[in-house]
Amino acid sequence: MISILGRGDQSWRIWFFLLRSSQKRSAPRAVVASLEQRVRAAAFTQPQAIPAYLNYVTRQSGYEQAVSLARELELRADASAAELVELAKFHFEHNRLALGDALIERAKDLSPDLPRIYDEEAWNQRARGNVHREIAALRRCIDLAATAQARLEWEMWLGEAYLRLRDPHSAWPHLANFDTLPQGTPSLLSAGYCATLLGKPEAAVRAYRQFAPKGDDYDALTCATQQLTGFSRARETLRIITERGLADTTPGLELTARAALAVGDADSAATALAAAVVRDDRSAWTRGVHAQLLHARGDERSALAAYELLEEEDGTPLLGALRSSLYAAQGSPQLAVQSFITQYRLGASWADAVDELSVDPRARSVFARARRERDSARRATLLSDLLGRLSSERSITTVARLLAQDLAELGNWEAAWDALRFSFAQRLPAVPLTPEVSSPIRLTSHMTYAEWTETEPIARGVVLYESSLGDAVSCNPLAMCLELLRDPNRTGFSHVWSITENARIPAELADRPDVRFVRKGSPGHLRALATSEYLINNSTWDYVFTKRPGQRALNTWHGVPWKKLGRNQRNEPFSYGNVARSLLQADLVIAPDHHTLDVLSEGMDIGQLSDPERFVRTGHPRNDLAVNLAPATRHAIRESLGVTGDTKLVLFMPTWRGLMGKRDAEVEETRRVAQGLVSEGVVVALRAHHYVRQAFVAVPPQAGVRLVSEEFDTNQLLGAADALVTDFSSVLFDAAAVGVPVVTLVTDIASYEDERGLYFTPEEVPGCPADTLEEARALLSDALREPESYRARYAPATERFSWPESGDSAARALSLLLDPPAPGVGGGTAPAAHPRAHRLYLGASGLPTNGITRALRSLVTALADTDVTPYLSVTVNSLETAADETIADIREFAKILPHVGAQPGTRMEQETAQYFKTLDYERTEFTDRFLASGRRRESRRVFADREFDSALEFSAYDPMSVAFTAAGIEVRPGGQRGVMLHNEMMQEVETRYPRLRSSLAQLAKFDFIASVSESVREANAAALARELAVPEALHITLENIILPDTIRTLGAAPLGSEDRSWYGRPGVHFCVASRLSPEKNHFELLDALARSESKDQLFLTLLGDGPLAHELRVRIGELGLQDRVRMRGLVENPYPHIRACDAMMLPSRYEGQGLVLLEALTLGVPVVATDIPGPRSVLNDGQFGLLVPCTQRGIMTGLDAIAAGDLVTASDFSAEEYAADALRAFLRAIGAGSATPTPTEAGQ
């Protein structure tokens, strides 16, 4: 689609270009700052500059800073519609869809005829797959088009949108004017396709001829190719190839294969490629794709024959690697190595062996020795050592191939193949399922990790360590590493550390040949993460990490939490996603006290998912570094800090006060306190938190205060100190455990408690608390003068939060990791086991403000009275943008595991996942296999090896969520796996969300398919059987659950004065409570009201928000109903409004159930609804409310009945009985039948 709107003032682009150029050339900071100010000024004056500038701020200062600036722009009193649209674009780009939608609606209210509003809306809704909203935006673009050419282009786009809905009849009126388009315009292909679908062959030929003329006809190959690559219309491509006699030509065979892959038909693709690969005029890619397709299908014999056909012009190193892997699988490592070396010539250059990504201190010296070595065997030993020290892909590839050459010369073919294989990033075959010949999916580190876990054996005896997210070589992992290196009974281990470039490597590790270092996040690190037998961490693993069978992972957590963590953290309550995920991956979690173990289980919402034996109470290994500190080392530390003779050493360690992403330690205040702690005969050693340590390096030194260098480990410092002063740092627990007196300076505890939250008062933790610096000085004097009596003041707290530290905690932790006890025989003391609950996974792709989310809230609330524990795994974005009342219910009644990180997968799994999200997805055995394996991999990444008792996809509106629940989540043998359908789903596909077709193709994998009403069940069963061959026997009815007592309590809440005034107007009041979207039929209702003879008696309140808000406001004005209709918008509590009305109406064109009808009935408010599936079941064919035809005349009949007060009162409806029955049915469906709530319980 070419640009339709003009560019307007684009001068900001010049300043932005200059800014980026100055940064690349390292211009002086003053120059950069000046340009930044100009770009910022442009963002405040030129709307189109806003997204670019906000994205620049995101890169420079973080997303939260950009959001803050966006908010500043948005809240300006003079913010224009044009600015709001560009702000919306920024939010859309960052997947904050609700924020963007709200700004678009505001822009419409400010300037309803601004074309840019609808241009942005059309593009955004297209990207989201909301074709119905895309169409509505395009219609406005057509209305507002400034020129005939612009109108024509919008018309073409609109026609193409209808084609994506598979509605050629609606598309044709917009595409029929294709004759006026210039030759080669892509929309001509859409016109030709539409004409074909409608049985208009002459028009189709005319359109194709206009696109690509060829004599008196059209270029069929060009049109077929462009239909595939430009519009993904594989079926049309195949039709043209067949009808135009291209099927036996080489280009036709190749295009047939591509089109067949685009509909998941691997068999037809393989057949076409088999015919093409033997032809001389074949394309260079044909043989490679053919071989990989056979390989991916599991036909290794045929695949090997196809790889062997490859000639020099056909091959790539990847294809050679795949061929070699098949030779090796057949037991021929020599052939595997020789075939690769012969065809691709390793060509490894020593110059690429070690590059700037290397963080290993020995790498360059080992490299130099290897380069000088002339003996192949000794050089191979050195190269093998070097290989484990490298981080970058280039270095690894170079050294692995140099090693393979040496080993091949020595005739050690097994080892040579292992080395050569180590150089391959991609290990498994993959073919594109999208139209492009070359896969549009770039090979990522996550794919490499997944393929390594599939193809590389566990490296026995290799231990991977990580501390503080790689920023340090310290803490518990360091203590365990040192212990393992010292233990003469535990030899033969290789030690690998994952570190950032900022980490300091302790001298005792830096020059050890059996200790290696790789850069965190690098290919070298991910290889180690994929293959190490043992893994030790004190925080979280990389998002990609998924523990394999044969690996053992230990989490030593980095401290006893005084500050609140996980779901208890006040300022960032959903920041624990990767913490929970990492702990689930661990075989063992150790901590010195019950509180920490409880926080790491219950506080992360994983307690009921974890075996108690995995959580073990034992000492912190790092405390060994203090307890076992040698006198000579203690003396050296003190001397280096200026402590001699009887001088006392006070360690001052303030905590990091910032939030995640905000490292804002108050340097000057910290320096002031440190200086205030100095007294005669006392040296204060300041150790700043590692997040902000560099902020103290550049400031002038202070008398009596020493900034502790990073060469000293914190726990070694504790062993050398006479006392510790800290605030909320967990180091106080270590100090108390090893006998160092503690003073806690808690001057700003009130603000810290309000901001972050604390588990305990200062009096409940080890140490004596001080509110002021003066009190801290006095306590410090006591601690230094009489340390034993001082420690006795808080001895009970020390005992509560500590394990007896006798210097063997590291050895004990190693024993637990390396010599695991038999199941059920734990070491130490684990948290108390939970009563066995039924663990229910609830799939919900988001938590938007709509009826489905309201039903989900009611469900999880009702389950609180049963033995079912619901688990939700949704993105942080979804949680942060959900309504407050939604979050309150979900947090109280469900376990939340925030979904974090990119989903890993092999390249073929990622190809299939991308294909699955397209409109072209066809379910086949081939695509099913890779879709399922990818979803299982993601489930293992998120939940490790945990099983649920049942799984329920609750929304069914997100294809990936449906596939995850259907094929990924592990459900215990005999457990139930189901899906809820809240609407007539094929109607949703045909009118709004065509991408849902791929979701619905997965439904046969479920044990049950539940519709929310009997009439909708009948409609879904018939339609899904007809369209997608989903067995009708799988369908059941599960009505949405309501909470009668809650509804009545909320309904009794008082209304505001403005609302009371409105409802106090003489007349008959009725309301519609629903999303303002097309299927809710508001326009038909307004037109009926305007024509109704009862109009003057009626007052209508519209409760809700949605994409039609502006258009409805306009229509109300056009119909002269401003005094009769009030758009109240989205209200947090709609029930008092419903209760204030004389009736409720639901005029929808289709509904799954009509939850709001049940809520109105619960409040005793009469209801009127259109006679459609859903409401028909809820109202029991009219027993509980009036049903009217879904026509304007039918709605007018309902309005007359409301005005006359002639409505069914539904006295027979019992909300409590309905709720109890619905809950019992739900529990039976998921196999949790032990809970049988009474009507009273269901109403809570």
Exposed, middle or buried by CB within 10 Å (0-12, 13-18, 19+), for 318? middle
**Is residue 249 a part of any domain in this protein?**
no
Query: Do 1016 and 1068 reside in the same domain of the chain?
Result: no
**Structure-derived torsion over alpha carbons of residues 934, 940, 946, 950, reported in degrees to the nearest 10:** -20
Angle value at C-alpha 1128, between 1127 and 1129, nearest 5 degrees: 95
Number of domains in the chain: 6
Those residues with Cβ within 8 angstroms of residue 42's Cβ, 6 or more apart along the chain or in another chain = 11, 12, 15, 16, 49, 53
Inside any domain, residue 1064 = yes
Q: Are residues 876 and 1012 in the same domain?
A: yes
Residue type, 549: P
Type of residue numbered 191? A
Which positions ≥6 away from 47 have C-beta within 8 Å?
Answer: 80, 82, 83, 85, 86
Give pLDDT tens digits for 306-332: 999 888 777 789 999 999 999 999 999
Residue 1102, helix vs strand vs coil: strand
149-158: which pairs have CB atoms within 8 A and are 24 or more residues apart?
150/4, 152/177, 152/180, 152/181, 153/1, 153/2, 153/4, 153/187, 154/4, 156/181, 156/185, 156/187, 156/190, 156/191, 157/1, 157/122, 157/187
Other beta carbons less than 10 A from residue 156's beta carbon:
24
Structure tokens at 779: 């306590």
Phi/psi for 93 (5° steps) reads -60, -25
CA pseudo-torsion sign 730, 733, 734, 740: positive
Same domain, 744 and 662: yes
Query: Cα–Cα distances in Å, from 915 out to 921, 922, 995?
Result: 6, 9, 11
- Give dist(CA 570, CA 568) in Å, integer: 6
Neighbours of 1057 (CB within 10 A): 8
Provide the token pair at 576: 């624990």
CA distances from 852 to 485, 857, 997, 1224 (A): 57, 9, 19, 20
Residue 171 lies in a domain: no
Q: Tell me: do 528 and 386 sit in the same domain.
A: no
939 and 854 within one domain: yes
- The CB density around residue 1025, as the number of other CB atoms within 10 Å, is 15
Report pLDDT for 1208. 78
pLDDT at 1240: 38
Nearest C-alpha neighbor of 1244 from the set 1220, 1208, 1225: 1220
Residue 1028 and residue 899 share a domain: yes
Contact assessment for residue 880 and residue 890, using Cβ atoms and an 8 Å cutoff: no
pLDDT at 1242: 40
User: According to the model, what pLDDT value does residue 662 have?
Assistant: 44
pLDDT given for residue 1142 in this prediction: 97
Query: Which amino acid, one-letter code, is at 1088?
Result: A
Domain end call among 981, 1010, 1037: 1037
Q: How far apart are the first and last CA of the chain?
A: 55
State the CATH number of the domain containing residue 63: 1.25.40.10
Asked if residue 550 belongs to a domain, the reply is yes
3-class secondary structure, 936 = helix
Residues 801 and 893 placed together within one structural domain of the fold: no
Residue 1021 within a domain: yes
Task: Evaluate whether residue 705 is within a structural domain.
Answer: yes
Judgement on whether residues 684 and 773 belong to the same structural domain of the protein: yes
CA–CA separation, 138 and 148 (whole Å): 15
Question: Which amino acid makes up residue 228?
Answer: L
Token representation of residue 829: 């003391």
Tokens of 1004: 């046969």
Which three-class secondary structure state does DSSP give residue 1167?
strand
User: Which domain, by its residues, includes 599?
Assistant: 445-614
Domain check: are 1050 and 901 in the same one? no
Q: What CATH number is given to the structural domain containing 527?
A: 3.40.50.11820
Q: What is the pLDDT of residues 838-859, one digit of tens each?
A: 999 999 988 998 889 999 999 9
Whole-structure pTM value: 0.91
Same domain, 634 and 706: yes
Name the percent of the chain in helix, strand, coil, to the closest 5. Answer: 55, 10, 35
pLDDT value at residue 1239? 39
- Reference 1165, options 1185, 1183, 1181; nearest CA is 1185
Residues of the chain with pLDDT under 70: 1-11, 346-348, 352, 436-440, 656-666, 689-700, 822-836, 1233-1244
Strands 217-218 and 213-214: antiparallel
How far apart CA 1195 and CA 1043 sit, in angstroms, is: 29
Q: What are 933's two structure tokens?
A: 């394996």
Q: Give residue 570's pLDDT.
A: 85
At residue 831, the pLDDT reads 53
Same domain for 379 and 467? no
Residue 820 buriedness (CB in 10 A; 0-12 / 13-18 / 19+): middle
- Smallest CA-to-CA distance from 586 within 820, 876, 803 is with 820
> What was the pLDDT predicted at 881?
87
In a domain, 325, yes or no: yes
Where is the domain boundary, 581, 614, 647? 614
SS3 of residue 1048 by DSSP? helix
The string over 574-597, giving b where at least 16 C-beta atoms fall within 10 Å of a residue's C-beta and e elsewhere, is bbbbbbbbbbbbbbbbbbbbbbbb
- What CATH number did the domain enclosing 714 receive? 3.40.50.12580
Single out the residue of 1188, 1149, 480 nearest to residue 816, CA to CA.
480
1133 and 1079 in one domain?
Answer: yes
Q: Is residue 41 part of a domain?
A: yes
Q: Please give the structure tokens belonging to residue 635.
A: 């003396």
Separation CA 535–CA 459 (nearest Å): 12
The set of residues, in sequence order, having a beta carbon less than 8 Å from that of 945 and lying 6+ positions away, is: 547, 970
Q: Which of 584, 614, 644 is the last residue of a domain?
A: 614
**Per-residue b or e along 326-354, where b marks 16 or more CB atoms closer than 10 Å to that residue's CB:** bbbeeebbbbbbbbbbebbebebeeeebb
One-letter-per-residue 3-state SS of 504-554: CCCHHHHCCCCEEEEECCCHHHHHHHHHEEEEEECCCCCCCCCCCCCCEEE
